[in-house]
Amino acid sequence: MAAFGLMALLGMQTLALASTENESDDRGNGTQIETQEQHEKDGIKDQIKQKACEKRGEQVTKHVERYDKMKRAHVQAYNNMQDRVKKFIDKLNEKGYDTTKLKADLVVLNGKVVKFASDYSAYIAKLDQARQLGCDDPAAFKAKMQEARDLLKIVHGDAKDIHSYYTDTIKADIMALKKS
């Protein structure tokens, strides 16, 4: 029985040695397979990144077009506001009212509208610069987009300024003229 146990032990050692040799052969082929699989995964990752970048560029292009259209609409609305105030000033002049303060308010309003339009154009230009960077430099793209967001905050501030100036100053001056 001891002989049988000894033979079994020797057989196991032989099997272990043989399996170790087979594993070392498989590891060599496994490394090549793993390397090939890694290259395929990297290629797929690059394709995904490229498609995402192209999609991001398309989205920025849509934003540029949309914001350009909105800019034109806002500027047109502000110009219409100025035209209405001019017509109202003309009517008040015909009735003999002193409209010098309203004329001065209109000049200030015009300056605010011009500032709004130039800031909006700067925002759209910054978006377009980010779009042109494309996939070449993600860090620069991100920086340009952040600059564009900062400019958009300025544009929103300009719009609020125009609105508050119209409601708080121009309308108040009109009401004061009506009362006198």
DSSP string, the chain: -HHHHHHHHHHHHHHHHHHHHHHHHHHHHHHHHHHHHHHHHHHHHHHHHHHHHHHHHHHHHHHHHHHHHHHHHHHHHHHHHHHHHHHHHHHHHHTT---HHHHHHHHHHHHHHHHHHHHHHHHHHHHHHHHHHTTS-HHHHHHHHHHHHHHHHHHHHHHHHHHHHIIIIIHHHHHHHHH-
- Is the pLDDT score of 58 beyond 70? yes
- pLDDT band of residue 100 (cuts 50, 70, 90) is very high
Angle between helix axes 171-179 and 100-133 (nearest 10 degrees) is 170
At 135 the pLDDT is 73
Contact, 124 vs 67, CB < 8 A?
yes
- Is the pLDDT score of 64 beyond 50? yes
- For range 19-30, the mean pLDDT: 49
Alpha-carbon dihedral 31, 36, 42, 43, rounded to 10 degrees: 180
Give 118-174 pLDDT, tens digit per residue: 999 999 999 999 888 877 788 888 899 999 999 999 999 999 999 999 999 999 998
User: Is the pTM above the cut of 0.75?
Assistant: no
- Identify the residue with better confidence: 178 or 69: 69
Contact, 126 vs 148, CB < 8 A?
yes
- Is the pLDDT score of 26 beyond 50? no
Distance CA 112, CA 130 (A): 27
- pLDDT band of residue 29 (cuts 50, 70, 90) is low
- For range 101-127, the mean pLDDT: 95
Per-domain boundaries in the chain: 41-179
The distance from CA 157 to its chain's CA centroid, rounded to whole angstroms, is: 18
- Is the pLDDT score of 175 beyond 50? yes
Closest by CA position to 122, among listed 162, 75, 154: 154
Closest by CA position to 174, among listed 114, 84, 40: 84
Rounded to the nearest integer, the mean pLDDT of the chain is: 83
